[in-house]
Amino acid sequence: MIPRYTLPEMGTLWADQSRYETWVRVEILASEAQAKLGLVPEDAVEDMRRAKVPDAARVAEIEKERDHEVLSFLAAYCEGIPDASARWVHLGMTSYDLVDTSLGHTLARATDLLTAAARRLRRVLTERAAEHWDTPIIGRTHGVHAEPTTFGHKLAGFAFAVDRSLTRLAAAREAVAVGTISGSVGTYALIDPYVEGYVCEALGLGVEPSPSQVVARDRHAQLLQAVAALGACVEHLALELRLLQRTEVREVEERRTSAYQGSSAMPHKRNPTTSERLNGLARLLRGYANSAVENIALWHERDLAHQSVERVILPDSLCVGHFQATRATELVENLAVFPDRMAEHIDQTDGLVYSSAVLADLLQGGMEREKAYRAVQSAANNTIASGEHFSSTLAKEGIDLGTLTPDRFLRNHGVIRNRLEQLRELED
């Protein structure tokens, strides 16, 4: 992923040098296990530990001649190991024993970073939802004014969506945090299964139960689908905040620095650029998830068609998802909220937002449903056509609007607040 959408802690995990550091760790662990089995001399393992991680530039230089990254890495690594010890490196292993086991370790670490970012987003959403639990705002269905709700209720919905994403990420982490060191076509023909268990335990990984030389790719697809689902939840949040920032609405606004410039031509513009950026990144995540599904089916025990795809979609998905969740947290945390504007909009339609409450009162008073509905609808249509207040048009139908306030719609709101408090407790 380009630096613009990569935060340092996540980007470092996916750098070539970091990959080779993990590869060296796997090779040393595998040799340690072989030594415990009496198959590799202990002094050879000690030489491997002393050797430096090969420089990424050196690996790339050798790869120009060998056209094979793993062999080039091994050649560069063994340059720092005496010949008598270097011959024991990678004993009984095949390339993807190294690649996939290391990848499982990296994916687990990257998912942990993303999970931490999503937890911060959940915490900020629950905090601001509690802050604005009693801030009335008009609810909109189909983009049209419906009934009053609260801004806190809106934010609570997004907090619970992120919470569900955290559950999906946890399951996906378990799925991808596996390795295999089973040799060519996964039969353990030239390597003892003890080596696999030793290495994977040291790295905090599970073991692929029936390896085919590679780790099954449905695991990676599950992770990228979970990342895309989190991205879509962030997209939903960002879209709502974009809509609430429109000039004619302006119920919220992204915080701006003194250096902010919204348009090269129109100095007055205050564009919702952060929200828009979050929406756009979600589209990338969905595309990556689809590519991961395409990667599941490999020829026989393995082919290499998935590799070129994974070099792009795995680091990009984790980098983008992490960036998106982090920036969404900052957006919500610093969001300016305008309760007065929200209150104004509740009354913008001259009382029409209370039509369902009037209908409910008429039904409870014994009026037949069709008659009650038609009477309230007729009054509402007259208000829309004339601009006359709903109380007046209702009176012409022989109906008294009474004294209605947004609280009428929030009488049972406490049950949702209790659920939100339970979610907030997860952060303690």
Over the stretch 194-243, which tens digit does the pLDDT of each residue have?
999 999 999 999 999 999 989 999 999 999 999 999 999 999 999 999 99
Query: What is the predicted pLDDT for the residue at 187?
Result: 94
Locate the DSSP E strands across 101-194.
136-141, 144-150, 178-179
Q: How far is CA 184 from the centre of its chain?
A: 35
> In whole angstroms, what is the distance from residue 410 CA to residue 135 CA?
11
Low-confidence ranges of the chain (pLDDT < 70): 428
Q: What is the DSSP string of 354-408?
A: GHHHHHHHHHHTT--HHHHHHHHHHHHHHHHHH---HHHHHHHTT----S--GGG
The CATH number of the structural domain formed by 349-412 is: 1.10.40
Query: What is the predicted pLDDT for the residue at 353?
Result: 94
Residue 276 and residue 262 in contact, taking contact as beta carbons nearer than 8 Å: no
Please report, for residues 52, 267, 270, 280, the alpha-carbon distance to residue 264 in angstroms, rounded to integers and kept in the order given: 51, 7, 12, 21
Please report, for residues 305, 381, 384, 386, 402, the alpha-carbon distance to residue 399 in angstroms, rounded to integers and kept in the order given: 71, 15, 17, 18, 9
3-256+267-343 belongs to CATH 1.20.200.10? yes
9 φ, ψ (degrees, to nearest 5): -65, -30
Identity of residue 93: M
Catalytic residue among 68, 263, 308, 356: 263
Query: What is the predicted pLDDT for the residue at 428?
Result: 64
Query: What is the predicted pLDDT for the residue at 257?
Result: 74
| Tokens at 313, concatenated | 């979609």
Q: What's the pLDDT tens digit per position in 312-324?
A: 999 999 999 999 9
Given CA atoms 289, 295, 296, 297 in this order, what sign does their dihedral have? positive
Closest CA to 90 of 29, 49, 22: 29
Q: What is the CA radius of gyration of the chain?
A: 30
Active site residue 236: no
Residue 147 and residue 356 in contact, taking contact as beta carbons nearer than 8 Å: yes
Active site residue 386: no
Catalytic residue among 142, 210, 258, 300: 142
Count of alpha carbons within 13 angstroms of residue 18, beta-carbon side: 15
Cβ contacts of 355 within 8 Å, gap of 6 or more: 376, 377, 380, 390
Query: What is the predicted pLDDT for the residue at 166?
Result: 98
Q: Where in the chain is the domain with CATH 1.20.200.10?
A: 3-256+267-343
Query: What is the predicted pLDDT for the residue at 401?
Result: 81
Query: What is the predicted pLDDT for the residue at 213?
Result: 87
Closest CA to 95 of 68, 76, 75: 68
| Tokens at 20, concatenated | 């080779």
| Tokens at 242, concatenated | 């974009």
Q: What's the pLDDT tens digit per position in 329-368?
A: 999 999 999 999 999 999 899 999 999 999 999 999 999 9
Query: What is the predicted pLDDT for the residue at 1?
Result: 75
> In whole angstroms, what is the distance from residue 363 CA to residue 260 CA?
54
> Helix and strand tally (H, E) in the chain?
17, 6
Query: What is the predicted pLDDT for the residue at 269?
Result: 81
Q: Where in the chain is the domain with CATH 1.10.40?
A: 349-412
Query: What is the predicted pLDDT for the residue at 260?
Result: 73
